[in-house]
Structure 1
Amino acid sequence: MGPTIHDVARLAGTSKSTVSRYLNGQQVKKATEEALEKAIKELNFHRNANARRLVLDRTNIIAVVVDNISNIFYSGIIRGIESVANMKGYNCIFLSWTSNYEDEISFLNLLYEGQVDGVILVSFQKRAKEDLERIRESQYPIVLIGDHGDMEDIFAVDVDNAAGVSELVTYLHSLGHRDIAYISGPVHAAANKHRFKGYLKSMEALGLNYNADWVVESDWSNQGGYQAMKQLLQRQSGFTAVIASNDETAIGALRAVQESGMNVPKNMSVVGYDNITISEWVYPSLTTVSQPFHQIGQKAAQGLFQKIEGADDAAENTHYLLKPNLIIRDSCGKI
């Protein structure tokens, strides 16, 4: 059996209750704190997490549930969450529901069973209405990153996808482009709808003509972007630029344009969305927009801890749309 708080108290020359208060985060005299730290180190004492949990009625653990742990975009979000959790003295557990063959909503049982103090659900896929209704009706600390179905009374953080595409249209317009094609993404991605809205609204706001023949779908892969661009080129009728709704698609589109014998950006401008690492290394380097993933994670974690701590303003400003940033590189030219 390892050392107990009785052993710590005896070596530090203080009482068991003082040791307990100190371990539970309450203030003690400076000299007592130094004696306790010295005793803890000398005895190699470790707190009993289960006992502490019973005393404080909390686990000091939050769960972060993602739809696919291999998604490269989630690393920045996770770092943002961890930065806030660490400041609060909390640990994080990370769960991937696709690899566990579970649905996202089932992980709320961790909350209901008292295994964690709060849950952040992270997914860029569309969420089912009935799942969102269950989350809205729950009294437990739950925060969403991604789709919230435009429902009120759900704390959710996302990127302003429409604003990102709008920046791309505006930038191309500033270079003289008036005929701009668009490659959309898969219907299951919540961001796809908002990015396409940004394209339509900004085209209208700038007085640019919308041509349905200049819009094709992709699956947000390199191959999907390549095939979509080939479709556009086959029906080519005057557009001078193309917005691909993610960088993978844009890279595939870039190859299709170059294989057709056209030069990017001399004959055609190509832009993407997401600012993945490879977008800087393709030729020409890709103009795109960067999403503030670290900030997304921070904002979500801050909202979760407001709920955990019962802050009076925990329900205010429940929907946050963070602004992406335009990254100008070499894949666009003036006309």
Structure 2
Amino acid sequence: MGSTIHDVARVANTSKSTVSRYLNGLKVKKNTEEAIEKAIIELNYHRNVNARRLVLNKTNVIAVVVDNITNIFYSGIIRGIEKVAKDKGYNCIFLSWTSNFEDEISFLELLYEGQVDGVILVSFQKREESDLIKIRESTYPISLVGDHGELEGLFSVDVDNAAGIVDIIQYLNGLGHRDIAYIAGPDNAAANKYRYKGYVQAMEALGLVYRPEWIVKSDWSNQGGYEAMKQLLQAKGFTAVVASNDETAIGALRAVQEQGYSVPKQISIVGYDDISISEWAYPSLTTVRQPFLDIGIKAAAGLFQKIDGDEDEDLYRHHLLRPKLIVRDSCTNV
């Protein structure tokens, strides 16, 4: 059997309660602290985490649940979450729907069973309203990243998708573009709705006319962008194209170049997300960078406020973080 807290107390020549105080982060005398540390090393003592959980009624672990662990956008969010968790003395466990064959809401059982102290649900897919209502009604610490279904009373964090598109349209307008086409994304992506809304709002605010044939859909893949751009080229009449994500923009770029058009001399193209390949496309892609690290930090900070019992009103509303326009070489004046 391994060493116990009684053994540590005996070797350190102190009481069990003093060792317990030290292990739980409370102050003890300097010479006692040194004796306890020496005893822990000598005995190779490891605290009984399960016993500590029973005493403190906490695990010092949070769960981070994502819809697909391979999604490249989640790495920045996860770094932000880990940063806050580390500062709070917590560990993270990471779970993916795809690897566990579960739906998002089912992972809340980890909270209800006392296996973790809080859960952060990360997904850019549309969420079911019934699931969002369950989350809102729960008294447990839960933080959302992504879609909140425009439901009031939920703590959630997301990028301001509409604002990113508005920045793009205003930038293109400043370059003299008045005829701007748009490649939308898939309906199951929550961001698609808001990015399209940003396009419509910005065009109308600037008094620019957009034609139905200048708005086409894609699945946010390179191939989807390629096919959508080929469809747009049949409509003609536009000088710029806003693709609602970078993969679509890169596919569109290839379609334009294959048809013998020059980017940006004849057609300007803008993306959204600032994935790493965007800088290496030719020409390098003007796009919008999402604040993924800040999203993770905000989501985790809110979760720990809930764990600590904070009743701040900010913990019952949706937080949108502003993206940043990244200007490269795929646009020019007309």
Do the two structures share a fold, i.e. TM-score over 0.5? Answer: yes
Structure 2 partner of 1:331: 330
Give, in whole Å, the separation in 1 of the partners of 2:137 and 2:272. Answer: 34
Does structure 2 retain, via aligned residues, the 8 Å contact 1:153–1:315?
no
Deviation at 1:207, TM superposition (A): 1.2
1:227-238 → structure 2 map (5 Å cutoff): 227-236=227-236, 238=237
> How far apart, CA to CA, are the structure 2 residues paired with 1:82 and 1:71?
17
The TM-score with structure 1 as length reference comes to 0.98
Please state whether the residue corresponding to 1:275 is helix, strand or coil: coil
Matches of 2:311 and 2:127, distance apart in 1: 28
Asked if 1:168 is matched to 2:168, the reply is yes
Q: Which residue of 2 aligns with 1:37?
A: 37
Secondary structure, in 3 states, of the residue corresponding to 1:119?
strand
Superposition deviation, residue 9 in structure 1: 1.4
C-alpha contact 1:306 1:314 (8 A) present in aligned 2:
no
* Residue number in structure 1 paired with 2:198: 198
| TM superposition shift of 1:317 | 5.7
Name the CA distance, whole Å, in 1 between partners of 2:241 and 2:261: 13
**Alpha carbons 2:217, 2:228 under 8 Å: kept:** yes
Alpha-carbon separation, structure 2, partners of 1:171 and 1:315 = 32
Write the letter of the residue equivalent to 1:22.
Answer: Y
- 2:75 maps to a residue whose letter is S
Partner of 1:185: 185
- What are the within-5 Å matches in structure 2 for residues 229-268 of structure 1? 229-236=229-236, 238-268=237-267
Is the contact between residue 111 and residue 119 of structure 2 (CA under 8 Å) also seen in structure 1?
A: yes
The answer as to whether partners of 1:24 and 1:52 remain within 8 angstroms in 2 is no
TM-score, normalised with respect to structure 2: 0.98
1:39-59 Cα distance to aligned partner (Å, 9 max, x none): 222322111110110010011
Give the equivalent residue in structure 2 for 1:286. 285
* TM superposition shift of 1:22: 1.3
SS of 2:144's equivalent in the other structure is: strand
Query: Matched residues in 1 for 2:32 and 2:268: separation?
Result: 68
Find the counterpart in structure 1 of residue 301 from structure 2: 302
Q: Partners of 1:188 and 1:48 in 2: how far apart?
A: 45
Q: Is the 8 A contact 2:306 2:315 kept in 1?
A: no
Match of 1:144 in 2: 144
Distance 2:47 2:313 in 1: 31
| Native 8 Å contact 2:154 2:316 kept in 1 | no
Query: After superposition, what is the alpha-carbon deviation per residue over 1:111-141, rounded to whole angstroms, capped at 9, x for unaligned?
Result: 1111111100000000001001111111111
User: 1:315 offset after TM fit, Å?
Assistant: 5.2
Letter in 1 for 2:116: V
* Count of aligned pairs between the two proteins: 334
CA distances 1:72-123 after superposition (whole Å, capped 9, x unpaired): 0001111110101111111111110122211110111111111111100000
Structure 1 window deviating more from structure 2 (16-25 vs 178-187): it is: 16-25
What is the RMSD computed on CA atoms of the aligned residues?
1.1
> Which secondary structure does the structure 2 equivalent of 1:33 belong to?
helix
- Amino acid of the residue matched to residue 132 of structure 2? L
Cα pair 1:164 1:324 within 8 Å, conserved:
yes
* Structure 1 gap segments, 5+ residues each: none
Between the aligned partners of 2:110 and 2:316, the Cα distance in structure 1 is 26
